[in-house]
Amino acid sequence: MTTLFTIDDLHVSYGKVEAVHGISLELDAGRIVSVIGPNGAGKSTLLSAAIGLLPSRGRIMFDGSDISGLGVEDRVERGLCLVPETRELFGEMSVLDNLLLGAFSKRPNKAKRQALLDHVYKRFPRLAERRHQHADTLSGGERQMLALGRALMSEPRLLMLDEPSLGLAPLIVQEILSIVTSLRADGVSILLVEQNALAALESSDYGYVLESGEVALHGDSQALKSDERVFESYLGGV
Amino acid sequence: MSSLTSQRLGILAVVAGLAIVPWVFGSFTVSLFNDIGMAALVVLGLVLLSGVAGVISFGHAAFVGIAAYASAWLSTEYAISPWFGLPFALGVTALSALVIGALTLRLGGHYLPLSTIAWGLVVPLLFGNMAMLGRHSGISDIAPLSLGDWQLMTAESAFYIIWILVGLVATFCYHLLNSRMGRAVRAVRGGNVLLASFGANIFHVRLMLFVLSAVFAALAGWLYAHTNRFVSPAPFSLHVSIDYMFMMVVGGMTQLTGALAGATIVIAVKNVLQDLLPLVSRHAAQIQAVAFSTLFILLLHHARGGILSLASKMARVKTPAPTQMHDAEPPVEPLPRRSLPDKGQPLLSVEAATKRFKGLVAVNEVSFHVKSGEMVGLIGPNGAGKSTMFNLMTGTLQLSSGRTEFMGENITRRSQRDIALMGMARTFQHVKLRPQMSVLDNVALGAHARGQCGMLRAGFNLDTEEERRIHAEARRQIARIGLEGQEMEAAGNMPLGTQRLIEIARALAADPVLLILDEPAAGLRKAEKQALADLLSRLRKEGVTIMIVEHDMDFVMKLVDRLIVMNFGTKLFEGDPQAARADLGVREAYLGHAA
Amino acid sequence: MTWDIALILSVDGLAGAAIYLLAGLGLVLVFSVTRVIFVPFGDIAVFSALTLAYLEAQRFPPTIGLVAVLAGLTVAKEVVTLIRRGQFRELPRAVLGWGILPMVPCLPAFLLAGRELPALVAIGLALILVVPIVPLLARLVFHPISHASTLVLLIAALVLHFLLSGLGLLFFGPEGFRTQPFLNGMVELLPGFRVSLQVLLMVGTSLALAALFFLAFERTLVGKALRATAVNRVGAQLVGIRPATTATLTYTVVSLLAGFVGILIAPSTTMYYDSGLIIGLKAFVAAIIGGLSSYPLTALGAIAVGMLESFASFWNGAMKDVIVFSLLIPALLVRSHFSNHSDDGSDEEEV
């Protein structure tokens, strides 16, 4: 198995305040790696830095080359894709336009574009029904589907998901996470940031637990699920 | 040599140098100095208004014009001494500024500066179209200033009047910046929520500052009318307003000394260009305009901190020098304190609080109470509605339905500022300290509502007693959080954990009945969390009532008396921490359930 | 005021509205994509009007020199930046894109200027000569500070206006020009009510261009990318839309719109090097009525400004500008009232 993505001793600061203090992690091609931990642990900061929205110190390697110096758009063109916690949809544009723009970095021809659209609609039939609706009229679950669909339009090699279950009812969380796991079969590697620790570990191969901007613990997801230390980092020790 | 002494020596040298100008230079150079002095008056006001408080005005030349025309009109129409024209000019300008400011200063973001372009353009157009103001030919033969029978007709004779006024205004500004209102002015960029949190009214501060800067501009206008003895619309046009803005940016925007330096540099360079350009091109005037705009743009690109910022970085001159540097503080009477309710009295009660955003229910019928002397934690996972609940309690957001009560009074419809004045002090999840201000000044902001002195008393330095009391209180709170000796450090240089402590000290300086903390542990490292927890348990022992809105359960667990847990906008659990930890619902809310 | 006069004034108002519509659309576009409040819009319109006047007078338009100077400066700046960053492979593209491409319109202009030209050819030349100006200027002035606050960008825009009016004076001189009307004569719309063909042409062109503008935004992927950038900048970056590219495209469109404004206005108004500010700011009043974001409301604003100006000039010619700008204050107040009061976002640091 080849290593697709490596983060090495990453430091990220907001102004003078450092939020991520030297995190390192690795992701093998075709795997789902989850990053869990309480609020303020630096999970979202880590992803923002990985896609290039935030400046960082340290090395980020993707597919054998150093991408630390590249801008967001260059990273996207190389096949990285982030679905942020805030979704960042184009609210006043239609679902269809959102999806079409998802493929912007690929500049697909008409046939390819249609094929991508069909693929997304097949996965999310609800988006096909609402293709002419404005994105900001969708419900929370549908918005998350659109965010995922828009990401898939770029045929990403590494998909980074920030809190895909945030604010969603438990049933929809199940649906979203089962879609995430099914993406693995399509050859997409996934970095999954979740607060919903148990569900995240359930759907991933390997897990990192972040605490106060550092990796507190990492290991096989199945092993972490029964690790009392994960529980304590959330609910506090006795 | 301390920085204060060297600063004083510097000022002395500048004053001495200026005093001999009329004896050394010819009339032309002296009148150039007069121009610099008049421009400096306007730019001093702009430094306060735009540089420090961030209210950008593209129209201050119009205020210069209003005053110049007012005094010119009065003295030519009624043959009245310019000295009577002075209060008239200042009054008319202040009134205009009050009206314009009242109309436009509530505008947000870029709309405000756009509106200043509008009146900056309209006012000179009005001058050029009003018959009583001589239309485009203006008013000529204006009386010169006089002292007794001595008419100040020459540049040399006007020089001292102009520069004495510059000195007075600069001193006024200096005192103002180092006062209670001055701290509020320096905090204006932190936004409405910050100012309201310590009981200041941002609109009031901005309006007063706007009028003040217009009055400084009016002084310049009055001087201009009676030294130039001719007024026409051109010197008050939008173009000239931009020149003032340029001077401010050249001088570094936030520094009073920068106002003088900016005015000097811009006017001197302009003058040099005027001499040199005709030698190289017959289009000298056009090239000058182009050259100036180019320089301005280059300045915006490369040195937005102004030309002086480079020099001051080397010399490490701090803008507002601390007022007290002496070790032996004479004892001062402490600020008056609130009478606190007895322990166990209900302080805050929330009844069926509900908040809807466009159909989405963020907080749904949540009720709870906080009693005096308690420490209560409000916790829940991300997206549970904690922050919305926080904003509802502090009045930052209005309830959709339900009721909040504080110390027996209904505060459901009260403004954030009113609630703060009643004694609810808060901190911020995203720390809102003013990074350039010292720790002492940041903490002193908290005591804002405990003082009374306004801008005028501050400017004339009549607030020293109150200032000493506020400073003593701030020092006391800084000692309480264990930061003695670091009062003069810039708050922005502190690590996040310390910044959160400083926010708590600021809140404590308000002498609060209830201290409410918004995610104080977020982003802190382990040792910092421990320091914060130690401080909070000490405060509880001292009898401070505290409510912590927090995500981090580990942090609040060992600290609080009682926990309220929220999830999906509703109250999930209320009880003691151990019970919360054992509760299955809480466990599931935090960790999710395995599929 | 009789109905006849009101009717005539309304027609004048519509002609004005046609101008402010195009300018307003341009201003809203630039602001929504780049956050720049593009005060110097009118100056560009002046350049196109004066260029056309020079071509009609069979003189050599100084615009060619202006474009050449700007292209030279931009290439120099780009090359220095690239060399400093060690990105040598990007050099040919930068020279081609910022040096050669903007100079392309200069060639036909250079060859044809000084002769007697058919009106449409002269107009075409004037338009293509103006097109490179704004993208070049923006690359020089706004690109290096594209992350600065809106206020810094606004200051820069205002200074740029003064720079351009200085350049206008330097390149075109202080005289005013009026160009030939494209169409002469009147047409009787209602019995006894005649309208000049020129006015109809202005309104027609403006509406056609506005329609084209909307089509491009609704139907093409590039147009959608521009809209996406305006709607959500971070979202646009996340799908790989480059802000610098969209900005350049936006400025090109705006340059063209300003070119049209200049061509349309020049036959009916004498244009001087400094006429631009007032035109631009009146269009701003329209754009602000549209909240700097809504195109339909901007169109309504344009009609309001055009009508107000026309009726105000009948009432008091000297004060018409005062009256139009006074409309800005209530417009801003209404705007500010309806925009969300999130004062918290005012935490903009200048320095």
Q: Is B239 on the interface with C (CB under 8 A)?
A: yes
Question: pLDDT band at B264, cuts 50/70/90?
Answer: very high
Q: Which of B286, B288, B415, B434 to mutate against chain C (most C CBs within 10 Å)?
A: B286
Q: Give tens-digit pLDDT for C173-208.
A: 889 999 988 888 888 877 777 888 888 999 999 999
- Residues from chain C that touch A88, judged by Cβ atoms under 8 A, are 232, 234-235, 238
pLDDT of C196 reads 86
Question: pLDDT band at B149, cuts 50/70/90?
Answer: confident
Burial of residue B293 (number of CB atoms within 10 Å: 0-12, 13-18, 19+): buried
Question: pLDDT band at B573, cuts 50/70/90?
Answer: very high
Q: Is B228 on the interface with C (CB under 8 A)?
A: no
B23 belongs to a structural domain:
yes
Contact across the interface for C344 and B193, Cβ inside 8 Å: yes
Instruction: Report the chain A residue with the minimal C-alpha distance to residue B524.
Output: A212
Contact across the interface for A196 and B592, Cβ inside 8 Å: yes
CB C262 within 8 A of CB C49: yes
Task: Choose among C11, C44, C9, C19: nearest CA to C284.
Answer: C19
Count of structural domains within chain B: 1
pLDDT of B349 reads 95
Here the contacts of B478-483 (C-beta below 8 Å, separation 24 or greater) are: B478/B439, B478/B440, B478/B443, B478/B502, B478/B505, B480/B505, B480/B508, B481/B505, B481/B535, B482/B535, B483/B439
pLDDT of C342 reads 43
pLDDT of C345 reads 40
Q: Is A96 on the interface with C (CB under 8 A)?
A: no
**Mean of pLDDT over chain B:** 89
B425 belongs to a structural domain:
no
Contact across the interface for B253 and C335, Cβ inside 8 Å: no
Residue C281 structure tokens: 């700011």
CB A34 within 8 A of CB A203: yes
Above 60 in pLDDT, residue B220? Answer: yes
Domains and CATH numbers, chain A: 1-79+158-238 (3.40.50.300), 89-155 (no CATH)
Residue B182 structure tokens: 């001055």
Secondary structure of B270-315 as H, E, C letters:
HHHHHHHHHHHCCCHHHHHHHHHHHHHHHHHHHCCCCHHHHHHHHH
**What tens-digit pLDDT sequence spans chain C (351 residues)?**
788 888 889 999 999 999 999 999 999 999 989 989 999 999 999 999 999 999 999 999 999 999 999 999 999 999 999 999 888 888 999 999 999 999 999 999 999 988 888 999 999 999 999 999 999 999 999 999 988 888 789 889 999 999 999 999 988 988 999 998 888 888 887 777 788 888 899 999 999 999 999 899 888 999 999 999 999 999 999 999 998 999 999 999 999 999 999 999 999 889 999 899 989 989 999 998 888 888 999 999 999 999 999 999 988 877 888 888 888 878 887 777 766 544 434 444 433
Contact across the interface for A233 and B554, Cβ inside 8 Å: yes
φ, ψ of residue C190 to 5 degrees: the values are -120, 160
pLDDT of C349 reads 40
* Tokens 């009643």 found at: B422
Task: Compute the distance between CA of residue C13 and CA of residue B593 in angstroms, rounded to an integer.
Answer: 67
How many helices (H) and strands (E) chain C has is answered by 17, 2
Above 70 in pLDDT, residue B320? Answer: no
Contact across the interface for C325 and B118, Cβ inside 8 Å: yes
Measured in angstroms, the CA of B260 and the nearest CA of chain C are apart by: 19
pLDDT of C291 reads 84
Burial of residue B502 (number of CB atoms within 10 Å: 0-12, 13-18, 19+): buried
Query: Higher pLDDT residue, B152 or B214?
Result: B214
pLDDT of C121 reads 93
At residue A17's C-alpha, the angle toward residues A13 and A18, to 5°, is: 45
How would you label B340-378 residue by residue, b for 16+ Cβ within 10 Å and e otherwise?
bbeeeeebbbbbebbbeeeeebbbbebebbbbbbbbbbb
Alpha-helix runs per DSSP H in C144-196:
150-172
Burial of residue A196 (number of CB atoms within 10 Å: 0-12, 13-18, 19+): buried
- Neighboring chains of B (3 or more beta-carbon pairs < 8 A): A, C
Q: Which of C41, C146, C162 to mutate against chain B (most B CBs within 10 Å)?
A: C162
Instruction: Report the chain B residue with the minimal C-alpha distance to residue C333.
Output: B107
Between the ranges A220-229, B38-47, B567-576, C218-227, where is the mean pLDDT highest? B38-47
Task: Compute the distance between CA of residue C153 and CA of residue C135 in angstroms, rounded to an integer.
Answer: 16
Task: Compute the distance between CA of residue B406 and CA of residue B349 in angstroms, rounded to an integer.
Answer: 7
Residue A150 structure tokens: 């828009």
CB C217 within 8 A of CB C250: no
Domain range for B264 = 11-314
Task: Choose among B206, B224, B233, B247: nearest CA to B67.
Answer: B224
Contact across the interface for C341 and B108, Cβ inside 8 Å: yes
Residue C101 structure tokens: 């491409």
pLDDT of C341 reads 46
How would you label B212-240 residue by residue, b for 16+ Cβ within 10 Å and e otherwise?
bbbbbbbbbbbbbbbbbbbbbbebbbbbb
Question: pLDDT band at A12, cuts 50/70/90?
Answer: very high
Give the one of A40, A170, A237 whose C-beta lies nearest to B523's C-beta.
A40
CB B85 within 8 A of CB B70: yes
Q: What is the CATH number of the domain that holds B119?
A: 1.10.3470
C10: left (phi over 0), alpha (psi -120 to 50) or beta: alpha
Which residues, 6+ apart, have CB-to-CB distance to C294 below 8 Å? C28
Task: Compute the distance between CA of residue C106 and CA of residue B191 in angstroms, rounded to an integer.
Answer: 50
Q: Is C241 on the interface with A (CB under 8 A)?
A: yes
B417 belongs to a structural domain:
no
Task: Choose among C51, C46, C50: nearest CA to C276.
Answer: C46
Q: How far does CA B567 lie from the centroid of its chain?
A: 38
Q: Is B153 on the interface with C (CB under 8 A)?
A: no
- How many other C-beta atoms lie within 10 A of the C-beta of residue C34? 25
At residue C87's C-alpha, the angle toward residues C83 and C92, to 5°, is: 85
- Residues from chain C that touch A91, judged by Cβ atoms under 8 A, are 231-232
- Residues from chain A that touch C234, judged by Cβ atoms under 8 A, are 53, 84, 88
Q: Give tens-digit pLDDT for B383-410.
A: 788 889 999 999 999 999 999 999 999 9
Alpha carbon distances (Å) from B502 to B281, B436, B536, C156: 59, 14, 13, 37
Contact across the interface for A104 and C225, Cβ inside 8 Å: yes
Give the one of B58, B115, B190 whose C-beta lies nearest to C329's C-beta.
B115
Q: pTM of this prediction?
A: 0.88
CB B181 within 8 A of CB B454: yes
How would you label C207-217 residue by residue, b for 16+ Cβ within 10 Å and e otherwise?
eebbeebeeeb
Q: Is A15 on the interface with C (CB under 8 A)?
A: no
- Treating both helix axes as pointing N-terminal to C-terminal, what angle do C133-141 and C41-56 enclose, rounded to 10 degrees? 140
- Residues from chain B that touch C155, judged by Cβ atoms under 8 A, are 56, 245, 249, 300
Q: Give tens-digit pLDDT for A17-29.
A: 788 999 999 999 9
Q: Is C351 on the interface with A (CB under 8 A)?
A: no
- Treating both helix axes as pointing N-terminal to C-terminal, what angle do C276-289 and C328-338 enclose, rounded to 10 degrees? 30
Task: Compute the distance between CA of residue B462 and CA of residue B111 in angstroms, rounded to an integer.
Answer: 37
Task: Compute the distance between CA of residue C89 and CA of residue C94 in angstroms, rounded to an integer.
Answer: 10
Which residues, 6+ apart, have CB-to-CB distance to C89 below 8 Å? none
Decide: helix, strand or coil at residue B151: strand
Residue A205 structure tokens: 């191969």
B440 belongs to a structural domain:
no
Task: Choose among B511, B544, B513, B547: nearest CA to B340.
Answer: B513
B3 belongs to a structural domain:
no
* Tokens 């909240």 found at: C291
Task: Compute the distance between CA of residue A154 and CA of residue A113 in angstroms, rounded to an integer.
Answer: 10
Q: For residue C83, which amino acid is it?
A: I
- How many other C-beta atoms lie within 10 A of the C-beta of residue B492? 16
pLDDT of C140 reads 96
φ, ψ of residue C17 to 5 degrees: the values are -60, -35
Contact across the interface for A199 and B593, Cβ inside 8 Å: yes
CB B254 within 8 A of CB B235: no
Above 70 in pLDDT, residue B550? Answer: yes
pLDDT of A165 reads 80
- How many other C-beta atoms lie within 10 A of the C-beta of residue B526? 10
Q: Is C239 on the interface with A (CB under 8 A)?
A: yes
DSSP label of C174: S
Q: Give the H/E segment covering residue C335.
A: helix C328-338
pLDDT of B241 reads 94
- Residues from chain C that touch B47, judged by Cβ atoms under 8 A, are none
pLDDT of B361 reads 87
Measured in angstroms, the CA of C142 and the nearest CA of chain B are apart by: 9
Which residues, 6+ apart, have CB-to-CB distance to B419 below 8 Å? B394, B395, B406, B411
- Residues from chain B that touch A165, judged by Cβ atoms under 8 A, are 592
Q: Give tens-digit pLDDT for B531-547.
A: 999 999 999 988 899 99
Question: pLDDT band at B323, cuts 50/70/90?
Answer: very low
- Residues from chain A that touch B589, judged by Cβ atoms under 8 A, are none
What does the pLDDT average to over A161-182?
82
- Residues from chain C that touch A101, judged by Cβ atoms under 8 A, are 221, 224-225, 228, 236, 239, 241
CB C280 within 8 A of CB C41: yes
Rounded to whole angstroms, the maximal C-alpha distance in chain B is: 97
ipTM for the predicted complex comes to 0.93
Q: Which of A51, A87, A89, A104 to mutate against chain C (most C CBs within 10 Å)?
A: A104
Instruction: Report the chain A residue with the minimal C-alpha distance to residue B495.
Output: A17
Q: Give the H/E segment covering residue B113.
A: helix B111-127
Task: Compute the distance between CA of residue B467 and CA of residue B474 in angstroms, rounded to an integer.
Answer: 10
Question: pLDDT band at B104, cuts 50/70/90?
Answer: confident
B63 belongs to a structural domain:
yes
What does the pLDDT average to over B95-111?
87
Between the ranges A32-46, A90-104, C146-160, where is the mean pLDDT highest? A90-104
- Residues from chain B that touch C148, judged by Cβ atoms under 8 A, are 300, 304
Task: Compute the distance between CA of residue B222 and CA of residue B216 in angstroms, rounded to an integer.
Answer: 10
pLDDT of B322 reads 46
pLDDT of B313 reads 55
Residue C92 structure tokens: 């040919």
pLDDT of B311 reads 61
Alpha-helix runs per DSSP H in A63-207:
72-77, 95-102, 110-123, 125-129, 140-152, 170-185, 197-203
Give the one of C167, C318, C333 whose C-beta lies nearest to B129's C-beta.
C318
Contact across the interface for A101 and C228, Cβ inside 8 Å: yes
Q: Give tens-digit pLDDT for C231-259.
A: 999 999 999 999 899 999 999 999 999 99
- Per DSSP, the residues of C10-68 read HHHHHHHHHHHHHHHHHHHHHHHHH----TTHHHHHHHHHHHHHHHHTT---THHHHHH
